[in-house]
Amino acid sequence: MSFASQQRNSYRVEISGWDKSENFFVERTLLEWGADQQHVVSLRSLLKDSSVIFVRLIQEMLENAAFPIAYQATPVSERDERGYTRVKLEQMRPKHAEPLESAVEEAHDVRFHVA
CA 87/CA 78 separation, integer angstroms? 10
Residues 94, 35: Cα–Cα separation, whole Å: 25
- Helix extents (H) in 21-99: none
The 10s digit of each residue's pLDDT in 1-26 is 444 444 568 999 999 999 999 999 99
Pairing of the two strands 69-75 and 51-57: antiparallel
Q: Which CATH class is domain 3-109?
A: mainly beta
pTM beyond 0.75: no
Write the pLDDT tens digit of every residue in 16-52: 999 999 999 999 999 998 877 789 999 999 999 899 9
- CA-wise closest residue to 87 among 45, 28, 59, 57: 45
Give per-residue pLDDT as tens, 47-102: 998 999 999 999 776 655 678 999 999 988 889 999 999 999 999 987 766 665 55
Query: How far is it, in rounded angstroms, from Cα 47 to Cα 56?
Result: 18
